[in-house]
Structure 1
Amino acid sequence: MAFLTGPRLLDWASSPPHLQFNKFVLTGYRPASSGSDCLRSLFYLHNELGNIYTHGSVLYHLFMCHQGGSSVYARLLALDMCGVCLVNTLGALPIIHCTLACRPWLRPAALVGYTVLSGVAGWRALTAPSTTARLRAFGWQAGARLLVFGARGLGLGSGAPGSLPCYLRMDALALLGGLVNVARLPERWGPGRFDYWGNSHQIMHLLSVGSILQLHAGVVPDLLWAAHHACPPD
């Protein structure tokens, strides 16, 4: 890709207050931009370029410097949090369905319960004042998934052999990514050294991609198993 010459970039102190959420990223901030200028930033180097190209949160990271200011940023962040919540919700429902495939009296209650819990978690994430609070909000969903994984591990649930380790790796990668992002590592150890590449948010993105791949690796055999499995008679 041939990169264009972009506008003069800002340092942390000169960037808009709503973008000053990582004090260890010192340079590379885009100035307030029109929508077309935000799109143009796909093709020049700045400190959000890696985030744009490594994750599904493209709209948030691409337009976060929009000249509409904090109000536009808040809407973009809300949209991003809704996306995270949907991934956590829709990704877990087939796991619950397969784990409780032979418990028809419990499965609907578990699916509805997890969906309601996800709605609460999503609302808390939307209204969270910090990245730490957002991580705690999504922790409710993770806790519910661990209960499902525990039931399967103890033989109280069902599913394809080999899927459970994929799910455990899925949540381990997601948790690690969240912790790295909250801790601001490695840029905390060297402010300014990871402004463009290798900072905590990019690492979180890559770990999230790995987490989703583990979800896919577990769900596909689970659904194939559920389609052909006959539950024993009560």
Structure 2
Amino acid sequence: MPQVSFAHPSLCLNFLPLLHRLLPSNPPTVRDVDVPPLFRERFILTGYRPTGMSWRCYALSLFQIHNETLNVWSHLLAAAFVVLRFMVFAIMRGGGPEGEGFSVDASSLPLVLYVLSAVTYLSCSAAAHLLQSHSEQAHYSLFFLDYVGVAVYQYGCALALCLYSSNTAWRQSMLGQVFLPAAALLAWLSCTACCYAKLRFRRPYPLHRKLCQLIPMGVAYLVDISPVAHRLATHSWTGSPALPLHFLQVVLFMLSAFFFSCPVPERFSPGRFDIVGHGHQLFHILLSLCTLAQQEALFHDFLWRRPAMVREFGEERLLLACASFPCLTLCCALTALAMRRQAQAQLMKEQR
């Protein structure tokens, strides 16, 4: 009986080496002693990617099991969900009172900027954790970018919470009067402090390095969440579907801050949680859930406040508040670039 061949053998033999070149297999992960101290994490003993490989290898390590895999995927999936959920909301619920589709105007622009800020911080974080092992210069540059993303998200939250989630009594308070300038300043200080702490201190990190990061970020969070805290304390939760979601996101943020600050559970069993379950991974997962809960709460607040926003704030004031968002982003980006130059100079000096 004649045999049927579906492909010429020479074509298969030519195709396989091409496929191997396009999708090379990454080298296996190594132990902490096999990478420079800059890339090591306390109590994480295995699962490190070798340094000095090509950028393509680190990009393909997205599909490799290592101690950063869950950090990357948790924020990538969260970023995708944020975008998809916003698209669904814009189509299904984002129309105005006449039922027209979602449009970007003075009342909806803060919500768009919030979604952009969330996607920015999630994407920058995923990129930093995916690619940082390339070199020491890349490590510093990518984590400076990560800190810019965090500051942008801080201010995106502050802008949305101020305009959608606050009540009249809070807006007339002293804090409400200076809220947005204070939030912008604290976001920039958070970015600057994190960049400085990353550049200034070396492993093993002293306690004041963590304090240098946590104090500005903690103060920024307390200020940014104040509109929500005031509503939670002064309004009945049964009157608004947004308030239970706001409370949930506060709880999730507090839990994520705990795991960011403390290397648990890996402290109690070094090496056991290298790939799955160490503190930074739990921080990433909880922060992603916090963002998703906050987005849902803001959707409810947006629908509640949109009809009266232009009348209450004025179109010019809303647009001016939104214009401060790119200004803050530019200030943080310039700060990160300045820190990157200092890191480059420091590394060159050490190599001499």
Paired position in structure 1 for 2:335: none
CA distance in 1, matches of 2:226, 2:188: 18
Deviations 1:8-45 (A, max 9, x none): 3221122111112x221101111112211111212222
Which of 221, 234, 254 is equivalent to 1:142?
221
- Which structure has the larger Rg? 2
Over 3 Å counting, the alpha-carbon distance change for 1:100 and 1:190 in structure 2 is closer
Q: How many residues in Structure 1 have an aligned counterpart in Structure 2?
A: 224
CA distance in 2, matches of 1:4, 1:205: 29
**Does residue 34 of the first structure (1) align with residue 54 of the second (2)?**
yes
- Check the 8 A contact 2:186/2:216 in 1, yes or no: no
- Check the 8 A contact 1:173/1:207 in 2, yes or no: yes
Superposition TM-score, scaled by structure 2 size: 0.57
Paired position in structure 1 for 2:274: 195
Over 3 Å counting, the alpha-carbon distance change for 1:166 and 1:17 in structure 2 is same
Residue 37 of structure 1 aligns to a residue whose secondary structure is helix
**Does residue 49 of the first structure (1) align with residue 49 of the second (2)?**
no
Which of 237, 243, 250 is equivalent to 1:171?
250
**Does residue 84 of the first structure (1) align with residue 150 of the second (2)?**
yes
Over 3 Å counting, the alpha-carbon distance change for 1:4 and 1:46 in structure 2 is farther
Amino acid at match of 1:83: G
Deviation of the 1:140 alpha carbon: 1.4
Deviation of the 1:136 alpha carbon: 2.4
Which of 191, 200, 210 is equivalent to 1:122?
191
The farther-off stretch of 134-143 and 97-106 is: 97-106
CA distance in 2, matches of 1:132, 1:219: 31
CA distance in 2, matches of 1:203, 1:118: 24
The farther-off stretch of 166-175 and 51-60 is: 166-175
Which of 129, 144, 149 is equivalent to 1:61?
129
Displaced runs of 4 or more, over 6 A: 103-106
Q: Where does structure 1 lack aligned partners over 5 or more consecutive residues?
A: none
Residue 41 of structure 1 aligns to a residue whose secondary structure is helix
Which of 183, 202, 206 is equivalent to 2:262?
183
Amino acid at match of 2:190: A
Paired position in structure 1 for 2:329: none
Deviations 1:37-82 (A, max 9, x none): 111212222211121111132210111110xx22211111110111
The farther-off stretch of 147-156 and 185-194 is: 147-156
Q: What is the RMSD computed on CA atoms of the aligned residues?
A: 2.7
Deviation of the 1:139 alpha carbon: 0.5
**Does residue 111 of the first structure (1) align with residue 180 of the second (2)?**
yes
CA distance in 1, matches of 2:34, 2:192: 32
Residue 84 of structure 1 aligns to a residue whose secondary structure is helix
Which of 18, 22, 35 is equivalent to 2:38?
18
Over 3 Å counting, the alpha-carbon distance change for 1:51 and 1:163 in structure 2 is same
Deviations 1:183-213 (A, max 9, x none): 1111111111111111111111110111001
- Check the 8 A contact 1:132/1:182 in 2, yes or no: no
Q: Percent identity?
A: 25
Superposition TM-score, scaled by structure 1 size: 0.84
Deviations 1:206-232 (A, max 9, x none): 101110011112111111111134889
CA distance in 1, matches of 2:220, 2:162: 12
- Check the 8 A contact 1:12/1:23 in 2, yes or no: no
Over 3 Å counting, the alpha-carbon distance change for 1:9 and 1:154 in structure 2 is closer
Q: Where does structure 2 lack aligned partners over 5 or more consecutive residues?
A: 1-22, 76-121, 202-208, 313-352
Deviation of the 1:108 alpha carbon: 6.3
CA distance in 2, matches of 1:63, 1:213: 25
Over 3 Å counting, the alpha-carbon distance change for 1:226 and 1:18 in structure 2 is same
